[in-house]
Amino acid sequence: MLEQIFAPKSVAVIGASPDPTRLGHRVLKNIVDNGYSGTIYPIHPKAATVLDLPAYPAVSAVPAPPELAVIVIPPQLVLDVVEECGQCGVRGLVVITAGFKEVGGAGAELERALLEIVQRYEMRMVGPNCLGIIDTVSNLNASFAALMPGDGEIAFMSQSGAICTAILDWSKSEGIGFSRFVSLGNKADVDEVALLKAWGDDPQNKVILAYLEGISDGPGFVQVASQVTKNTPVIAIKSGTTAAGTRAISSHTGSLAGSESAYEAAFNQSGIIRARTMEQLFDFALLFAYQPLLPGPRLAIVTNAGGPGIIATDAIERAGLRMAEFSAATIEYLRANLPPTANVFNPIDVIGDARADRYRVGLQAALNDPNVDGVLVLFTPQAGSEPEETARVMAELAANQPKPVLASYMGAWSLEPALKLLNADKIPNYEFPERAVAALQAMDQHRRWRAAEPAEYASFDVDRERVRQLFAEVRASGRVELGEIEAREVMEAYGLRLPQSRLARSPEEAAEIASAIGFPVVMKISSPDILHKSDIGGVVVGVADAAAARDTYELIDYRGRKYSPNARIWGVLVQEMARKGREVLVGVSRDPQFGPLVAFGMGGIYVEVLKDVSFRLAPISRQEVAEQVRSIRSFPLLQGVRGEAPADLAAAEETVLRVSQLVTDFPEIVEMDINPLVVYNRGEGAVVLDARIILQG
């Protein structure tokens, strides 16, 4: 896919100046110099030839229409030229020219007009405002980058052109190659989603890397990425944060959820591996590009020093990976072939004076053992060490077998030639063992993602119509915030359990309702303007009799007026008192790029302090909710500690799924909080004690 951009049969460079100081010249030279085998047409108004190629005054003057046009001319000329390209039958565009959306105002207008032409002629366009594209498979360097990367199996896309040039420069010195290299620029047409689609089914790309600043189409990204990652690992680094919107945040969930949580959830749910640093991005990429996928989580270590072996072992355990337990045959083989002082258990210690032959014994034994899924070789330079020969042994043994082998040669100065050998032989090497283990952890994450069952979505029998009507009524009365009674109806329509409750508007009414419900009751202030009722003493639990109910009404009403003089007070809610259970929070906030983000966490009045929540984008699958619930720090509290019975996790999960269904059915819900949801012991269910729903204004 996108062959017209990455593997066109012919290319025109519009703005290919004969003047070597001009960008257009540089682009043409990059195409000419790097082995592109298609036809090249320099387009320039006056020149007869550029770089010894016959030049044409316009695309329309070229005898056969070029498949790709690279545009390097002033912005005000771009629209006409692109129109002409469309008329001539050009299929792909790389618009390097800047001066569009990134300059705002008129530039943004120009970009819209540009996109309209591109779409009208069904062309595809990278840019505008980009460095260009490089494809080492078709040897096309349609960019003004200063150098051409080597061949490789890493496909790289970046929203930042400056990052592109830095990476190219660095990778050249490290000997790291790429299959494709794209500077996305303003991504008016081809964006990260289009590239994922185009690259995902191409075996030339063993791994896809993305440097992202923002994602244009959040739901599209999640949908496409979750398919692509089932075959091709995708590693992304996300920099900066996006505008969280200007709307005032009026719920617990809203204050906890930022765009960061949305990205985290989106990456998690689409199987994307997230790199935290640029260093990690390439640490991970090399392992995926150079070695086979990890078939399981059991690792062996071969080392010539004890300390690093322990460091690596600790890192492996922290990463949720496992130290392999060797078979009897392996141990026997190691005993017979290593000196008596060597450690024949995992980590295999071949001892400080080991030459390459001992590494051969250790590595071969580990690779042959069916209980081992991958091997990390640690090397410290010591007297008698053979760094290069050891690297050769690794390359020989790692070749043509299904387990990844990676190295951590610790040191740099005396190891330079060996490090070059390792890289040439596609053994990823890491300066320190922790970095190697982090790469293995990323690979294991990918392994688990690929092995996971397809996502299963629940669909509960709910009363959607009732909620639709209710929302219409709320809107008709000019509100966006639902009252407790309305929120309660919504919850009930979606099958959630709530204690009985009714709104009292006078002390007398409070006493009547309380008597009808049965004592003790809980009484709460009811106001659309008071977010945290407890903060102003607006919640009283354990109201014991009718007289207390009357007094409590007066008290709550008084506190409301005193602490929040401008608040609209609807009355006092009288509620059946629920028995104690574990309090959790289920909430929703709407992310501007990804849509509804559902939170689950420890609830009650301390949520903002504990900030122990995990997020998933709706709709949430059964597997995702199980993982979501288990990923909060306080999960052990739900499992039960010190003899406590476990909480009803199934009920907690079901509540999240019902909420996910609700916000998927009603995109107009912008924020929602259930806090607390009281979860009882296993088999006893859960009840909603406090709920808040806010609609789009």
Residues that bind ligand ADP (CB under 6 A): 499, 522, 524, 532-534, 539, 541, 575, 577-578, 583, 604-605, 675-676, 689-690
DSSP state of 528: T
Between CA 250 and CA 487 the distance in angstroms is: 15
Segment near Mg ion (CB under 5 A), from 76-84, 214-222, 270-278, 688-696? Answer: 688-696
Task: Considering the complex, state which of residue 135 and residue 690 has its C-beta at the smaller distance from Mg ion.
Answer: 690
Burial classification of residue 516, based on how many CB atoms lie within 10 Å of its CB (0-12 exposed, 13-18 middle, 19 or more buried): exposed
Q: Which does 541 bind (CB under 5 to 8 A by kind): ligand ADP, Mg ion, none?
A: ligand ADP
Q: Which does residue 182 touch among Mg ion, ligand ADP, none (CB within 5 to 8 A, set by kind)?
A: none
From the list ligand ADP, Mg ion, none, partner contacted by residue 202 (C-beta under 5 to 8 A by kind): none
Taking the complex as a whole, the smallest distance from the CB of residue 539 to ligand ADP amounts, in Å, to 4
Report the nearest approach of ligand ADP to the CB of residue 546 (Å).
Answer: 18
% helix / strand / coil in the chain, to the nearest 5? 40, 20, 40
Q: Tell how strand 298-303 and strand 322-323 pair up.
A: parallel
For the CB of residue 580, give the shortest distance to ligand ADP in the complex, in Å. 8
Which residues make beta-bridge pairs with 572? Answer: 504, 525
Q: Of 4 and 675, which has the nearer Cβ to Mg ion?
A: 675
Residue 522, binding choice from ligand ADP, Mg ion, none, Cβ under 5 to 8 Å by partner class: ligand ADP
The DSSP string of 149-166 is PPEEEEEEEES-HHHHHH
Q: Considering only CA atoms, which of 229, 236, 232 is closest in space to residue 211?
A: 236
Binding flag, residue 690, Mg ion (CB under 5 A): yes
Task: Give SS3 for 587.
Answer: strand
CB 366 within 8 Å of CB 302: yes
Query: Residue with CB nearest Mg ion?
Result: 690
- 23 closest CA partner among 92, 70, 80: 70
- Six token digits for residue 411: 């040191």
Cβ neighbors of 185 (< 8 A, separation 6 or more) are: 95, 96, 126, 127, 128, 129, 130, 131, 159, 161
Residue from 205, 269, 501, 675 touching Mg ion (CB under 5 A): that is 675
Handedness of CA 560, 566, 572, 577 (dihedral sign): negative
Where do runs of H (alpha helix) occur along 10-64? Answer: 23-33
Using CB distances below 5 to 8 A depending on partner kind, what does residue 689 bind out of ligand ADP, Mg ion, none? ligand ADP
Nearer to ligand ADP, 435 or 533 (CB): 533
d(CA 669, CA 251): 12
Give the shortest CB-500-to-ligand ADP separation in angstroms.
Answer: 9
CB of residue 281 to ligand ADP, shortest distance in Å: 42
Q: Which does 343 bind (CB under 5 to 8 A by kind): Mg ion, ligand ADP, none?
A: none
- Quick one: 580 or 642, whose CB is closer to Mg ion? 580
250 is a site residue for Mg ion (CB under 5 A) = no
Q: Where are the alpha helices (DSSP H) in 16-141?
A: 23-33, 75-88, 105-120
Q: d(Cα 293, Cα 672) in Å, to the nearest integer?
A: 42
Residue 58 or 577: which CB sits closer to Mg ion? 577
Per-residue interface string for the shown chain with Mg ion, residues 626-665, x marking contact by CB under 5 A: ----------------------------------------
Q: Closest distance between ligand ADP and the C-beta of residue 676, in Å?
A: 4
Would you say 369 or 484 has its CB closer to ligand ADP?
484
Q: Which one of ligand ADP, Mg ion, none is in contact with 439 (Cβ closer than 5 to 8 A by kind)?
A: none
| Residue closer to Mg ion, measured from CB, 311 or 689 | 689
Helix (H, G, I), strand (E, B) or coil at 203: coil
Minimum CB separation from Mg ion for residue 221, in Å?
34
With contacts defined by CB under 5 A, how many residues of the chain interact with Mg ion? 2
Residue among 381 and 520 whose Cβ is closer to ligand ADP: 520
| CA–CA separation, 682 and 697 (whole Å) | 40
In the bound state with Mg ion, the residue whose beta carbon lies nearer, of 151 and 535, is 535
499 binds, among ligand ADP, Mg ion, none (CB under 5 to 8 A by kind): ligand ADP
In this structure, are residues 258 and 231 in contact, taking their beta carbons and an 8 Å threshold? no
**CB of 584: closest distance to ligand ADP in angstroms?**
10
Minimal distance in Å, beta carbon 407 to ligand ADP? 54
Q: Which does 578 bind (CB under 5 to 8 A by kind): Mg ion, ligand ADP, none?
A: ligand ADP
CB atoms within 10 A of CB 201: 12
**Nearer CB in complex with Mg ion: 252/550:** 252
The answer to the question of residue 484 lying near Mg ion (CB under 5 A) is no
CB of 692 to Mg ion, least distance (A): 8
Query: How big is the CA angle at 652 (ends 651 and 655), to the nearest 5 degrees?
Result: 85
Rg (C-alpha) for the chain, rounded Å, is 32
List the 140-143 sheet strands across, edge first: 140-143, 132-135, 178-183, 151-158, 207-212, 234-238, 273-274
CB of 587 to ligand ADP, least distance (A): 12
Q: Which DSSP helix (H) or strand (E) runs through 626?
A: helix 622-630
Residue 102 near residue 124 (C-beta atoms within 8 A): no
Q: How far is the CB of 520 from ligand ADP (least distance, A)?
A: 9
Applying CB under 5 A, the residues found at the interface with Mg ion are: 675, 690
